[in-house]
Amino acid sequence: MANLTHIARFGSLERGGFLKEARAVIEARRTSLMLTELIPRVRDTQVFLRMAVIELRRLAEQAPGIAVELRHVAQQLEAEAEHLARHDTE
């Protein structure tokens, strides 16, 4: 039989209070772990985008016929990297 301290803290076992609390704790920990893993991935993506920008601009210098298109794509990638950087610091 559940004692009064348990019922006050988690709710009665019959009504699922303890299980609800346990599920909430597990979900909070899982979400925290997902965010911990996500931050390095976002930073890796920023690095990749910036490296792609550098390479596209280098190619634009060597291929004047498609330079405008390459620079446009580079500008879009750079904007995406900046967008990720802003959201990474929030």
pLDDT tens digits, residue range 24-59? Answer: 777 777 777 677 777 888 889 999 999 999 999 999
Q: What would the mean pLDDT of 61-74 be, rounded to a whole number? A: 93
Domain residue spans of the chain? 4-89
**Average pLDDT, rounded, for the chain:** 79
User: Which residue do the tokens 């993506």 mark?
Assistant: 45
- Calpha distance 20→52 (Å, rounded): 47
pLDDT-above-70 percentage for the chain: 76
Asked if the model's pLDDT at residue 88 lies above 80, the reply is no
CA angle 48, 29, 33 (to 5 degrees): 15
pLDDT of residue 54: 94
SS3 5: helix
Asked if the model's pLDDT at residue 18 lies above 90, the reply is no
